[in-house]
Chain A
């Protein structure tokens, strides 16, 4: 089966799968010094990692890039010039409160569908789409129900695995687990994580904390809403659009109060006592939220700026996390 790679949470895996292709939301590694992006200064490390991953990928049949950030939009230009992989740039509107913005997203899904057909996919019937959506919804629910029964590291890796591989092999290791407790409850908030960044969960646990809310783009925050079964049956594509475009909160949206509403609810219900703010240098969208979040959250916030080097968790970062948790004891 042909694989379509992407990294943006606003690309619905169900839509690709319903076309008979394999969606894989990849998690790039740090590009280090070997990135095909010539410059490093000013370029977000995640973008460098993504471009690197796409250009070196030999398994994929196509890549979907989105416009959620300016550098990702421009990374599409680099990808188009540096590799032969068929690429699609999907417009994901920044505004979200108008009917026109929702319609634009829906139109872009249809246009994505045409791209997938050109790659050998088959345009799905509503019924076929609904079936795939239901399967993904079930799998997604299974993933979400493991929260609290796994370590934070295992839980976030499970989400990453679900994103990468879809619905396979998720529920097999969970049921016999006992609830996992202990540690100072923290949230991690920010954009997507690179592969190397996953050590953060263990660092927090080894320091006496526990990440109970993974509000990064690669964590729970980047998962779409549960589908409404009646709407799924009646108009699956519209429901898909609602669950993704209408529900995933992010800093890039204008206005982005949806993100703060979501955080307010999740931080409270998980009794979070501190926030790790994870951002890449040169990521303006998230960087600009740091100060506002500090004022808004009424919780201690630790700013962790990441350069995207292969050694993501530097001694300095680890020591800062240790100190942060010590203060919260």
Chain B
């Protein structure tokens, strides 16, 4: 059996799976051949290329069995929280309770891609007046109405204020359909006024102390709701323990990112890295297992780096990627065109930063929530991107617009201006719909142009 790092198709994975199994592969309960998920309708899987490590097999199986875990949690009598938009804050609270699981219904935005539009979620959203002028997260509305993709949560919690209009509008539409929502306010993070008490946030941003206090009071409302749902107290001790666990996840991710993005040869493909990062926001509905999955990935990556082996050529252009893609296949496409990911800002960098453990836990979470790159100005977000570009040595920035998303129309211009003026690296914007098959040649041409530019610049 060839164990050299490489990317393989789903069919190849299933053959490899059999070989591994015969060789004594040990897997968690959710393990199995990846090909079986196609039977659930996940047809896009047939068109992706995957890392061939056992660690990645576990990652994929963990991701693709989340729905089962949620149903099992309900069957066990656990309460389910649908936490929306904040990307990383409320789940830390929810998982501090032993009888609550939390997930993001927002994640339904990938269903049209994974099921190649066969689930009809976008059509359902259309029928409710939420058409293609909205971000693909509108698929969430369809998922609620059909009830076919995740159990309907016992409690919905949604952050509003400094959030994108698409999501806020869609959540309000959901509310109008009879799903009660606990709304909590996240204000636009502003710079402190002269002489105003200020606080340093995780990730390096600064915010007025009174904004932190306000967010803390909002999170206290969320805490009270979670206590009511769970029928138990969520005291500071439990919350602190929950923060420590979340930080464990974050520290493994930080290590994974650092090792992968700075390695001379790319040790783990973009797609697996994207999924690994996604685990940070709600632990894929199992916090402990998230830690185990990440540990195994880090071990694999470190082994590869030490051996000087990887999945791509050593000359791959080092790209910093901004915003998540609606079509996962585009991450493969970047690599086909000669690029690799060295730095990301997938809208939730705050979910990767360490939460302060030397503060009262509610304040620590408030600081983290305010560190969300999307609640401040696009200039702030661009500054953070610049800092990470320096850290990871990225050679170009790719801004991936989300079709219809309210923030994408204006932020790209600002981010590009700031990055180019500070670092003089090339920046390219592309737009990625849920299924890119029809525009793949165009996208490929644009990506190739960026990568050629990077490689030309190396010669100077």
Central interface residue in B158, B175, B184, B409, by most chain A CB within 10 Å? B409
Contact A255:B183 (CB < 8 A) given known A77-B414, A81-B414, A288-B170: yes
Interface residues of B in 384-436 (CB under 8 A from A): 401, 404-414, 417
Q: Is the CB of B188 within 8 A of A284?
A: no
Asked whether, in the complex, the Cβ of A98 is within 8 Å of the Cβ of B221, the reply is yes
Evaluate contact between A39 and B413: CB separation under 8 angstroms.
yes
Number of B residues with CB within 8 Å of any CB on chain A? 50
Q: Say which residue of B162, B408, B417 sits within 8 Å of A73 (CB atoms).
A: B162
- Flag if A39 contacts B409 (CB, 8 Å): yes
Q: Is A149 an interface residue (CB 8 A)?
A: no
Most buried by B among A81, A91, A256, A290: A91
CA distance A119 to B404 in the complex (A): 38
Interface string of A66-97 (1 = CB under 8 A from B): 01011101111110110000000101011100
Q: Classify the secondary structure of A's interface with B.
A: helix
The range of chain A's interface size is 35 or more
Task: Please determine whether B160 and A94 come into contact, CB atoms closer than 8 angstroms.
Answer: yes
**Contact status A95-B161, CB under 8 Å:** yes
Asked if B67 is an interface residue, CB under 8 A from chain A, the answer is: no
The stretch of B33-41, B129-137, B351-359 in contact with A is: B129-137
Contact of B406 among A70, A89, A254, A294 (CB under 8 A): A70
The segment from A99-107, A199-207, A211-219 found at the interface with B is: A99-107
Q: Is B218 touching A282 in the complex (CB atoms < 8 A)?
A: no
Q: Which of B164, B188, B214, B404 contacts A67 (CB 8 A)?
A: B188
Residues of A within 8 A of B128 (CB): 291
Of the candidates A73, A100, A292, the one whose C-beta lies within 8 Å of that of B188 is A73
Given A254-B172, A288-B170 in contact, is the A101-B185 Cβ separation under 8 Å? yes
- Cβ of A74 and Cβ of B410 under 8 Å apart? yes
Cα distance A288–B404 when bound, in Å? 13
* Cβ proximity bits B303-334 to A, threshold 8 Å, 1 near / 0 not: 00000000000000000000000000000000
Is B378 in contact with A94, judged by CB distance below 8 angstroms?
no
Q: Is B372 positioned at the interface, with any CB of A under 8 Å from its CB?
A: no
Does B217 touch A at the CB level, under 8 Å? yes
Give the complex CA separation of A183 and B396 in angstroms. 61
A43 contact set on B, CB distance < 8 A: 409-410
The one of B173, B187, B411 that contacts A288, using a Cβ cutoff of 8 Å: B173
Are A255 and B172 in touch, CB under 8 angstroms?
Answer: yes
Shortest C-beta distance, B348 to chain A (Å), equals: 17
Whether B47 sits at the interface, judged by CB under 8 Å, is no
Contact A70 B133 (CB under 8 A): no
Query: CB-nearest residue of chain A relative to B408?
Result: A42
> Which of A1-59 touch B at CB < 8 Å?
37-39, 41-43, 47
A104/B187 in contact, CB under 8 A = yes
A111 contacts the other chain (CB 8 A): yes
**Please, how many angstroms separate the alpha-carbon atoms of A70 and B404 in the complex?**
13
Residues of A within 8 A of B379 (CB): 77, 80-81
- When the two chains form their complex, are residues A285 and B193 in contact, meaning their CB atoms are under 8 A apart? no
Check A93/B129 contact, CB under 8 A, given A81-B414, A292-B176: no
- B200 interfacial contact with A, CB 8 Å: no
User: Which residues of chain B are near A111, meaning CB under 8 Å?
Assistant: 193
Q: Nearest Cβ in chain A — how far from B322, in angstroms?
A: 15
Selected contact of A89 from candidates B172, B188, B378, CB within 8 Å = B188
A157 to chain B, nearest CB (A): 29
A227 part of interface (Cβ distance < 8 Å): no
Residues from chain A with a CB closer than 8 A to the CB of B401 are 42
Give min CB distance, B413 to chain A, whole Å: 5
What are some 23 contacts across the A-B interface (CB < 8 A)? A39-B410, A43-B409, A67-B188, A70-B168, A71-B406, A74-B410, A77-B411, A80-B379, A91-B188, A93-B185, A95-B161, A95-B183, A98-B185, A100-B218, A111-B193, A252-B168, A254-B160, A254-B175, A255-B183, A284-B404, A287-B169, A292-B129, A294-B129
Residues of chain A touching chain B, judged by Cβ–Cβ distance below 8 Å, are: 37-39, 41-43, 47, 67, 69-71, 73-78, 80-81, 89, 91, 93-95, 98, 100-101, 104, 107, 111, 114, 252, 254-256, 281-285, 287-292, 294
Known: A254-B172, A294-B129. 20 other contacts (CB 8 A): A39-B410, A39-B413, A42-B404, A42-B406, A67-B161, A67-B162, A70-B162, A70-B163, A74-B378, A74-B411, A77-B410, A81-B414, A89-B188, A100-B214, A101-B185, A104-B185, A104-B214, A287-B134, A288-B172, A288-B173
In order of increasing CB-CB distance, the 6 nearest A-B pairs are A291-B129, A42-B409, A288-B169, A284-B165, A70-B406, A74-B410
